[in-house]
Amino acid sequence: MKVHYYKFLMLFFFTCSMSFAQENSISGTVSDDKGLPLPGVNVLIENTNRGTQTDFDGVYTISASRGAVISFSYVGFETKKIVVGDNTAVNVKLIASSSELEEVVVTAYGVSKRSNITSAISTVGSQDLQDFVPSTSIDNILQGQAAGVQVTASNGRPGNTAFVQIRGVGSLNASTTPLYVIDGVPIPITDNTANNNFNPLAGLNPNDIESMSVLKDAASASKYGSRGANGVILITTKKGKRGDAKIRFISSYGFGERIPDSFDLMNASQKLEIERQYAGLGIGAATKLPGAVSTPEELQTLIGLDTNWEEELLRTSVIQSNSLSISGADERLSYFLSLGYDKNTGVIDRIDGFERITARLNTSYQAKDWLGIDANVSYARSATDLPRDRNNVQNPFRALYSYNPYEPLFSRDAQGNVLLDTKGNPVFNPTSTSFPIARALLTEQESSRNLLVIGNVAANITLSDKFSNRFAIGLVSNRFNRTSRSLQGGVLDGFVGDKNFPGTQTENYALDFEYNVSNLFSYNDTFNDVHNLSASFLLEYNENIRTDLFADARGFPSAEIPYLDVSAEATNAGSDEDRRILFSQALFLDYDYDGKYIASASIRRDGSTKFGPENKYGTFASGSLAWNIAKESFMDDSFFSDLKLRASYGTSGNQNIPDFQFVELLGFNSTYNGRTTGSSLNAPNPLIQWESQAILDIGVEFAFFNNRLSGVVDYFKKNSKDLLLNRPISYTAGDEDNAIFQNIGEVENRGVEISLNADVIRTEDFRLSLGGNITLLDTEVKKLINGQDIVRGTFGNIILREGQEINSFYLVEYAGVNPDNGAPQYVDLDGNITETYSDSFQKIQEGKSPIADVEGGFYTSVKYKGFGLRGDFVYRSGNYILNRQRAAGEAIGNIDSNLYTSAFNYWKQPGDTGVLPSPRFQDTADQAATTRFLEKGDFIRLRTLTFDYNMPRKFLDAIKLESLRLFVTGQNIWTLTDYQGDPEIGIGSAESGEQGDPGFVPGEFSLFSYPQTRSYTFGIEVGF
Amino acid sequence: MNNKIYIVIILFFSLGFLACDDELNDLQPFTEGSPQTFFNTPETFQIGVDGVYRQLWLYYSNPDSGLQGIPDIISDNVIQAQTGRNSNDDYHDLRYVASTLGAIPLYYSEAYEAINGANLIIGQIDNIDGESQQDNILGQALAARAWAHFDLARIYGPIPTQSSDANSALGVTYIKVEDGDSGDPYAQPARETIASNYLEIIDDLERAALLIDKDNIEGRLNKNGVYALLSRVYLYNGEYQKSIDAANKVTAGLATASELPDVYTDVTNAGVIIELSINTSSEARGNSVGVLYSQSSRGITTSEYVLDFDFFNSIDANDARKDVLQFVGTNKGNDYNAIKKFLGEPGQVNGKVDVKVLRAAEVLLNKAEAQFELGQEGAALTTLNLLRQERYSSFVAGTETGTALEDAIQFERRVELACEGHRFFDIKRRGESIERNPTRGDLIDGTGTTPVAPILAAGDFRFQFPIPTAEINANPTVAGQQNPGY
């Protein structure tokens, strides 16, 4: 095949550059039957590969010789053909087509007309995606775009992916990530292990995406069987369209910064003052701090050193994106070639952020009348620096809150001059924490690089007009390489390095390889013109192989040579392999009666290596019905342009747990005193079996007034049974992580999704559209083993209890400060208010969980002539977040670190109310796991605001361009929330708890993870 | 075209797919073994035993919470240096509760992992029935199981000699494979009494002593180690004659005054009877036990904990241990009595050294104390003088009697074993109070910040650590058995 690519490619460039014969330039406007211009109409010259599209004003220009036939085609309209005569101005009016008034939607294992779909599918098209391009990961782009799809950025680290949950918490297991399928290739995402996590989504160029379909209910997700339980997101990349080669270049450049906090940190004089106050109250730790012991002159000196640590440690990030694509097609061959470059330096000064180069070639070739071949290949190389994300000052985002403002970045001598080292460089101040984070960012380096290749080849064989077959092979291969270094003479090398072997370095190398072979044999038939029947039989074999290798070495001659070859000795090395196999057989049946009454059914049997011999296979089935009421004759004169009722019910499965949980394993990967050790790794559960989900969905789709107003309403009830959870067990079992993967019970997620879109104003020059979606979600734990509560969460502050909301908070209730003495008060288990604190007072906070009750997004788009303004908002309500970051900022014990200014507001005299506890009650006051720090997470955020200008045809012709668009985009530029801090939280503190760690619950608490950023981007998009 | 050909091709592909059951069933773990089949030779059993030692090492050497240091940090040998990171301040300031992270969940978790490992060995020892190493391996596993339970019992429960009701108080769950205690991951066992715990600990150790080899390589238990541990356990259990008898079976000699400094840089193992060892090359990224007390870099020592002023100044200038224990650590212009025992191997300050769990000096001190408790004051004095003559440069045999002798034994114990994880238990088991001088600060001259919580009165509930919250949450049986006060 490879050789052929080159031929094809050469062919393309030939055809592109050829043919400028004696032809006339034909131009005109394409409009609909009401005279409104239609942008994006395909204008093709028959029997050639030349073509164009109308611009935003509906204007086109094309070269054609006399007698040529130009065809005008547009989704939802009848195609019109015009023979070129003498007239070079050809205006065309297209008539709305009744039969084709619908888009084609990418569905499970195929495509379908929207009206024939019996299941709940949300789609996001390329036009919607265009306004979100500055986001480097595609899952982040989905936020607020589709009803029922909850997207929360993991954190603000550039290149990081997002938590995507479809219709609530379908699985309690750390992994609620849906299945992503790119051009038919299921993408392996491993986020259920502590060390081997793999998520290739960050390697996709959003500019390559044509559309995303989100499969939400059983009728469609069930077709993916065991992997469909968290929903499925189908990503379709762009294909060449008939006509001349189109070259599109997009370039943008922008800046980002940390979203400012809604509260203030103390400055030097405030911090010194609170130290003085605390010392006055007899707080031991305060009595020797500068605020307590300094002379007035010394205080003035310290105040003069006032340092804003955010300015010292963070910077304005630079965000760059460039993308070039060349695409086109003739009768037999279509191609789409793209290159992309993205860079986001991140907001941490002194290290690099995220950088990615992508390339893609999508082709399809009609080799024979009966044989079509699709071949897509994409390549991405990304590199990212990995700062520490933990709850201490090794994390710059903790440091900027913790470092005292009177301690400057560089050390000073007695005279107040900056100290210089022997090379004349200023010496970083170790500060009272003894850890100079700015220097550590330079000497403790960690970065990773990924080389991702995704490819698929498919042969579509038409056996007869009734039988067809598609054979496809998909490959995902990622080479991961991580380098961690502690430079000689660096911060950690000084503390824990070996004097005889300065400097350490670890290299990790992993190859994730997955292949997927599938064969879909299909039968399509129509009886009596009205009975349409299709059936497909699927076989799929999927194997995932990961191999990895690491080496540890120490003793480097120079910090400049980051290779193990020069190290004095290797101290450790290792290699490992993991495999998992999934084998599936499925049957899909679809029937419709004249497009009015539609029924579908599917059954799939999956075998997985994740389960023991007794439970290897799971069977999943679904059935669905739909009624296109609008197609009934009695609806002919109604104002409905579309009205459809549909219902579906079915099951799907989840097997997303680590391998080999059903057998006991003995691990050998640690040594003791240089000798091999064997230790039990897990308590086995031989009975572990498939988690399954049954989803009921009832929906209505409607459109009024010639599709000017359209919407979808869905009710869903999702029951997840045999939930897989790494359930905490008694420590006395001696298990490595004190938890066992088990089928622990049942949860229910039910709710309503509504999405609406309206073209409010639609005139020749002016358009106003509005749209939005809302999801109302209720969750409930239905059943647990023996009815026994399960306490989870990174710090044990989340509980599962029958009859209660999933992941309810489990905290000690705070009862405010006793106005008489300033003591913090809590509610004990008998409901009495007491000044003592005990962990045993923990109780469920009913109805309060990190899960939002209401969630969604809405947008407004205004277009006037070539100008456009679009604002996309996301909102969330009803979730709670434990603000551990505030607990740290107000902790009495943190008097040696900087504090929030709110810490001044403590109890001072009898009668004070609405105050923080008196510092004299440090023991009982410094308790973070209490309702004192539980805050509502409600917010509305202006996710993106894009202002753009599309140059009209008349100017474009003058500068010989097909299209020109200029745009400015702001991201996260406005947020409304009462939460003290940024409310968009996925990971609270990665090294305390992240995907794959036992008990991890996204959005549970905030604790100095990489914060969200806001950005401003300027760009240009040129087509020629 | 001829459709049939393609249908045949498709059927061919399909049939290929149908034969996938073997692929699914045959997949085996790549780098892991099975604990049910792996142990079948003395060599493989020893790998399992080394895994148990590693689990013990994990909680003794943990740089944040190691059992080598926490018992000193809670009690009166050290005081928090204000220029450190404030690590373990909840422990030093006696504020710990069931949800406090660090030592409380660490010991509970890792000790039971060690016990689980030991039970895997003990339960399958018949696989090497008759092999020459069988007894030595079983002996190590039994002793390690007792050791881990002993740590749990003395941390989370009272010590028998601590108070009259200690023996009837709750200890921990003793997990023995022979009794069918292990193997059910869903078990939610109850805590057992201290009396029952000590019975089982002693039983395991007595069995081990008869089985284990006289000599094993560095880092593994041997006969001396088991008897040394027995001398300690019997002392804790108030069985003084048995403590003396066990001590008498220990053949290892004391480190001399001149050897002593080299003991702490791992140049010699003189006088070390039980240690948890680290190979600083292959475990270069392993735990730095010394980080509990201090970290040094570029001539600056960031101490977390430094020697208590009164304690350090009570050590005689002629005492060889004074220099072994202390150096002047400087940080931010302040001088401290920094702790020297864990700086590292010669020339290093990385804190990576072997964990000294039990030394010959302790055996002598156990014996002296037991003799004193039995009223054998003369013998006790003789035993004590054996130690003192190896420690004081101008040694004059002591002549104390009565309380003075008792104090002298405890003083030598405190100095000899300082910062090695003993002090809290020694105060606890004797039913005494922790008393820091409330007027002395952290700096080298006794000024600076004074202790936040100078007193822990005898009988205070905090002498028993709380059962960690995670265990309370996962095990409803234990939820009703939390230690009083928490």
What pLDDT is recorded for position B10?
Answer: 61
B337 belongs to a structural domain: no
pLDDT at B12 > cutoff 70: no
What pLDDT digit, counting tens, does each position of A925-957 carry? Answer: 999 999 999 999 999 999 889 999 999 888 888
Q: What whole-number percentage of chain B has pLDDT above 90?
A: 84
Strand partners, A694: A651, A719
What pLDDT is recorded for position B402?
Answer: 95
Yes or no, beta carbons of A667 and B17 under 8 Å apart: no
Chain A residues touching residue B295 (CB < 8 angstroms): 434, 495-496
What pLDDT is recorded for position A299?
Answer: 95
Q: Are strands A243-258 and A317-329 parallel, antiparallel or unpaired?
A: antiparallel
More confident residue, A367 or A76: A367
Say if residues A826 and A816 touch (Cβ distance below 8 Å). Answer: no
What pLDDT digit, counting tens, does each position of A971-1022 carry? Answer: 999 999 999 999 999 888 888 888 777 788 989 999 999 998 999 999 999 9
Yes or no, beta carbons of A734 and B182 under 8 Å apart: yes
Total number of domains in chain A:
1
Q: Residues with Cβ < 8 Å from B288, sequence gap 6 or more?
A: A496, B63, B350, B351, B352
What pLDDT is recorded for position A110?
Answer: 81
- Residue among B29, B89, B112 minimizing CB distance to A734: B112
Q: Are strands A467-486 and B326-331 parallel, antiparallel or unpaired?
A: unpaired
Chain B residues touching residue A664 (CB < 8 angstroms): 34-36
Instruction: Return the residue of A nearest to B451 by Cα.
Output: A284
Yes or no, beta carbons of A733 and B283 under 8 Å apart: no
* A·B CB contacts under 8 A: 292
- Residue among A730, A736, A923 minimizing CB distance to B95: A923
A162 belongs to a structural domain: no
Yes or no, beta carbons of A678 and B44 under 8 Å apart: yes
| Length of chain A as a residue count | 1024
- Residue among B38, B218, B470 minimizing CB distance to A678: B38
Q: Count other C-beta atoms under 10 Å from residue B130's C-beta.
A: 6
Q: How far is CA A398 from CA A313, A405, A443, A457, A891, in A?
A: 11, 14, 18, 48, 14
Alpha helices of A262-314 — where are they, by DSSP H?
268-280, 290-293, 296-304, 309-313
What pLDDT is recorded for position A899?
Answer: 97
Instruction: Please tell me the distance from the alpha carbon of residue A402 to that of residue A410, in angstroms, as a whole number.
Output: 16
Instruction: Please tell me the distance from the alpha carbon of residue A939 to that of residue A1012, in angstroms, as a whole number.
Output: 14
Domain that holds residue A45: 2-93
pLDDT at B438 > cutoff 60: yes
pLDDT at A480 > cutoff 80: yes
B120 belongs to a structural domain: yes
Q: What's the pTM?
A: 0.87
CA distance A785 to chain B (A): 11
What pLDDT is recorded for position A132?
Answer: 63
Instruction: Please tell me the distance from the alpha carbon of residue A15 to that of residue A70, in angstroms, as a whole number.
Output: 19
CATH number of domain containing B67: 1.25.40.390
What pLDDT digit, counting tens, does each position of A222-257 carry? Answer: 888 888 888 899 999 999 988 888 999 999 999 999
The mean per-residue pLDDT over the stretch B69-94 comes to 92
Q: Is B317 on the interface with A (CB under 8 A)?
A: no
The mean per-residue pLDDT over the stretch B8-25 comes to 64
pLDDT at A9 > cutoff 80: no
Say if residues A949 and A56 touch (Cβ distance below 8 Å). Answer: no
Instruction: Please tell me the distance from the alpha carbon of residue A23 to that of residue A368, in angstroms, as a whole number.
Output: 32
Q: What whole-number percentage of chain A has pLDDT above 70?
A: 96
- Residue among B1, B84, B282 minimizing CB distance to A674: B282
A281 belongs to a structural domain: no
DSSP type of residue A284: G
pLDDT at B33 > cutoff 80: yes
- Chain position carrying tokens 């019992």: B153
What pLDDT is recorded for position B11?
Answer: 60
Yes or no, beta carbons of B98 and A552 under 8 Å apart: no
Total number of domains in chain B:
1
**∠ CA A325-A329-A332 to the nearest 5 degrees?**
145
What pLDDT digit, counting tens, does each position of B411-426 carry? Answer: 999 999 999 999 999 9
Instruction: Please tell me the distance from the alpha carbon of residue B114 to that of residue A90, in angstroms, as a whole number.
Output: 86
A351 belongs to a structural domain: no
What pLDDT digit, counting tens, does each position of A554-571 carry? Answer: 999 999 999 999 999 999
Q: Are strands A179-182 and A232-237 parallel, antiparallel or unpaired?
A: parallel
Confidence of residue A21 (pLDDT cuts 50, 70, 90): very low
Instruction: Please tell me the distance from the alpha carbon of residue A238 to that of residue A247, in angstroms, as a whole number.
Output: 13
Say if residues B391 and B321 touch (Cβ distance below 8 Å). Answer: yes
CA distance B152 to chain A (A): 11
B11 belongs to a structural domain: no
Chain B residues touching residue A605 (CB < 8 angstroms): none
CA distance B349 to chain A (A): 7
Confidence of residue B474 (pLDDT cuts 50, 70, 90): very high
Q: Count other C-beta atoms under 10 Å from residue A422's C-beta.
A: 5
What pLDDT is recorded for position B4?
Answer: 59
CA distance A678 to chain B (A): 5
More confident residue, B483 or B11: B483
Chain B residues touching residue A510 (CB < 8 angstroms): none
Q: Is B48 on the interface with A (CB under 8 A)?
A: yes
Q: Is B243 on the interface with A (CB under 8 A)?
A: no
A416 belongs to a structural domain: no
Interface test with A, best of B14, B50, B182 (most A CBs within 10 A): B50
Q: Is B22 on the interface with A (CB under 8 A)?
A: no
B9 belongs to a structural domain: no
What pLDDT is recorded for position A89?
Answer: 84
Yes or no, beta carbons of A496 and B6 under 8 Å apart: no
- Residue among B84, B182, B284 minimizing CB distance to A554: B284
A50 belongs to a structural domain: yes
Write the ipTM: 0.94
CATH number of domain containing A33: 2.60.40.10
pLDDT at B17 > cutoff 70: no
Yes or no, beta carbons of A501 and B284 under 8 Å apart: yes
What pLDDT is recorded for position A2?
Answer: 43
A843 belongs to a structural domain: no
On the CB side of A59, how many CA atoms lie within 13 Å of its CA? 17
CA distance A579 to chain B (A): 8
pLDDT at B120 > cutoff 90: yes
Chain A residues touching residue B32 (CB < 8 angstroms): 660, 665-668, 681
- Return mean pLDDT, chain A: 89
Chain B residues touching residue A923 (CB < 8 angstroms): 93, 95
Give the H or E element holding residue B54. Answer: helix B42-61
Q: Is B61 on the interface with A (CB under 8 A)?
A: no
First and final CA of chain B: distance in angstroms? 83
Domain that holds residue B397: 42-280+354-479
What pLDDT is recorded for position B25?
Answer: 82
CA distance A378 to chain B (A): 27
DSSP A682-714: ----TT---EEEEEEEEEEEEEETTTTEEEEEE
More confident residue, B268 or A414: B268
Which among B211, B210, B209 has a CA at the least distance from the CA of B225?
B209
What pLDDT is recorded for position B26?
Answer: 84
Yes or no, beta carbons of A519 and B14 under 8 Å apart: yes
CA distance A845 to chain B (A): 16
First and final CA of chain A: distance in angstroms? 30
- Chain position carrying tokens 């849906």: A178
